[in-house]
Chains A and B, each alone.
Chain A
């Protein structure tokens, strides 16, 4: 049996941001984005207005400038998103000169494709809406902002990852991916998911966004918000988050580490109002962003793997 002593905190905190390392990550992502443009007929970039997708769009603009980004943006809207993030999404897409397509979970519910869950969570329903959008627009590649450091099922993902004609990921049958020779060939009906940020960590993302001063939705900065405590997280006051017995609304100084559906994204208590403070906070954090703030990942040890198999982002 393994024995485990408390390690000496010889690496408490993190080393200063290495510029060369961030440039390497940037250029790897640009290389991946250009491979998508070179290998696919109908790619799309998944764009929610969250920090990772903002970074991917920022890198796509760098990859193709002065030409425009050669693919549209696609957002799967659960109908439970933060209004200020949706406004940021629209403004950013317009500033980038990119076409924004929105696929709505509400439309899938109205069409009888999915049924509202008893717990009201719409995050799990997104997969059907997403795959319907892939079929409708005949997308052959979807670019996502997922990173391998987010979750241990994601840690297994290739950069070019094949989905079968049902949109499913089979982790036991992943293609070998050698060198930087990304293989996007596929049969009709199949598509690829492409992850240019695979090798970035949460800290890398923040350091890069800070270095380049990339605009983000305001809720990533510390702000006063009316929130309620649930499952160890601060959920926002919202019509989509009805109070349960024993819960009460209080005002706290919080910020978001990840931004998704209102019903399952928690805020963290923080006083970090600008990039330097946020970078310091993330560097010193002893929890992962998903562990800290995502109810949907707390369902079980294989929650992400199961959702990914079905075709989730």
Chain B
């Protein structure tokens, strides 16, 4: 039994059968409670459609009426080997922002295609998003094999095209599985209809996904709040990378103040060390005059604060992003103002190649963007340390989330 949760995002184009696949995974691993199954059977009876597993995750009225997934749904299940969160995301291009929401916290991505349709623009867009977000495990599920006569050549053609795309986008060793969500073949149980397929069923391939490797990265902890009680003064936050121990030197950024850890408090206990994911309170020997918004980093390996921020941005707003636009940038626990200096190459979902820079970035586009910020930000490259390489672009007026960015190493192109 693996000790930790595997977060799996599922994405596909419209009608790839993604919600059905998730329903199938949940049902065949006995994760559907009886009352929900009874409600499902009743709903299928009322609509005259028979049992429809997609209704398990399409939880909004509009989704059931239109037969599509609009927003992310989170479902929880466990097998004897490990626990999962299945994050079901929309296929429609207009809801790509919800797919990005689901993918941003995922350890593994299930990308779904209909074997008869092959890769679509939306598949290429989703694959690019998954690659940009750095999702660790990528699985292509080639669905509806029953409707293609379980034929190996049809599957191999899709597999070849996808492996070429993955290589181009820098995705290492994707897993490709032929399934039928409707019949359950190769979902939880190995299919007898496709003896030419040597890999395991999808669920077994998911169970095999390794957890994050031991963390050799430098320590980072954005300060969320400063806690005071009498003589007690501590900096509360979550360690986002690396390991911290009493005695370690840390630097607060962007202020530059340094200190040494006296103690690490967590959930009422003092810890000898704490690693990524732990919510802690750091007490320092020195009394630093810092507050929410600062980043505590290993003094030995700290990022250089900068006002010039370049990254790959996914744009979520129907109002295009233009050069010269003013926005807020959220990085760690810091919010600062920024102006758009430049928009570089855009991802082209039709070719998986790049289109030359434009003056504006439209809804759901993925492109390199350069910003100038009002205050300095201690930014790491996203592909090195996710939490300090990630940033949000917010509307100055109403605070709405307009875009998400992944910083590149200073000086390199996105």
B287 proximal to A (CB < 8 A):
no
A65 proximal to B (CB < 8 A):
yes
Given contacts A11-B80, A156-B60, contact A67 B33 (CB under 8 A): no
Q: Which of A188-208 touch B at CB < 8 Å?
A: 198-199, 201
Q: Which residues of B contact A21 (CB under 8 A)?
A: 3-5, 83
The smallest beta-carbon distance between A185 and chain B, in angstroms, is 2
Q: How far is the CA of A175 from the CA of B393 in the complex (A)?
A: 12
The stretch of A22-30, A131-139, A263-271 in contact with B is A22-30
Given contacts A12-B30, A15-B83, A65-B268, contact A183 B277 (CB under 8 A): no
Is A11 in contact with B29, judged by CB distance below 8 angstroms? yes
Interface size classification for chain B: 35 or more
Is B49 in contact with A20, judged by CB distance below 8 angstroms? no
A121 proximal to B (CB < 8 A):
no
Interface size classification for chain A: 35 or more
Q: How far is the CA of A152 from the CA of B71 in the complex (A)?
A: 11
| Mask of A73-89 contacts with B, CB within 8 angstroms, 1/0 | 00000000000000000
* B265: nearest chain-A partner, CB-CB: A65
* B402: nearest chain-A partner, CB-CB: A176
Is B399 in contact with A15, judged by CB distance below 8 angstroms? no
Q: Which of B46-75 touch A at CB < 8 Å?
A: 49-53, 56-62, 64, 70-75
Is B78 in contact with A15, judged by CB distance below 8 angstroms? yes
Q: How far is the CA of A290 from the CA of B176 in the complex (A)?
A: 38
A225 proximal to B (CB < 8 A):
no
Q: Which of A179-227 touch B at CB < 8 Å?
A: 179-181, 183-187, 198-199, 201
The smallest beta-carbon distance between B171 and chain A, in angstroms, is 20
Given contacts A10-B29, A38-B292, A152-B59, contact A183 B399 (CB under 8 A): yes
A299 proximal to B (CB < 8 A):
no
B101 proximal to A (CB < 8 A):
yes
Q: How far is the CA of A65 from the CA of B228 in the complex (A)?
A: 9
Which among A179, A184, A305 has the greatest number of chain B C-beta atoms within 10 A? A179
Q: How far is the CA of A26 from the CA of B229 in the complex (A)?
A: 23
Given contacts A66-B229, A155-B73, A187-B399, contact A179 B105 (CB under 8 A): yes
Q: Which residues of A contact B175 (CB under 8 A)?
A: none
Q: Which residues of A contact B50 (CB under 8 A)?
A: 1-2
The smallest beta-carbon distance between A54 and chain B, in angstroms, is 16
B136 proximal to A (CB < 8 A):
no
The stretch of A41-49, A237-245, A251-259, A280-288 in contact with B is A280-288
Is B33 in contact with A285, judged by CB distance below 8 angstroms? yes
Is A302 in contact with B1, judged by CB distance below 8 angstroms? no
Is A149 in contact with B394, judged by CB distance below 8 angstroms? no
Is A37 in contact with B225, judged by CB distance below 8 angstroms? yes
Q: How far is the CA of A65 from the CA of B27 in the complex (A)?
A: 42
Is B277 in contact with A27, judged by CB distance below 8 angstroms? yes
| Mask of A144-187 contacts with B, CB within 8 angstroms, 1/0 | 00001101111110100000000000011011111111011111
A–B complex contacts, Cβ < 8 Å, 12 sampled: A3-B184, A7-B29, A8-B189, A10-B29, A10-B79, A15-B81, A34-B237, A66-B230, A155-B59, A172-B60, A177-B401, A187-B397
17 additional A-B pairs beyond A62-B268, A176-B97, A177-B401, beta carbons within 8 Å, are: A10-B79, A11-B29, A18-B83, A27-B267, A30-B267, A38-B224, A64-B236, A66-B229, A156-B73, A176-B100, A179-B104, A179-B390, A181-B330, A185-B400, A186-B399, A199-B5, A287-B35
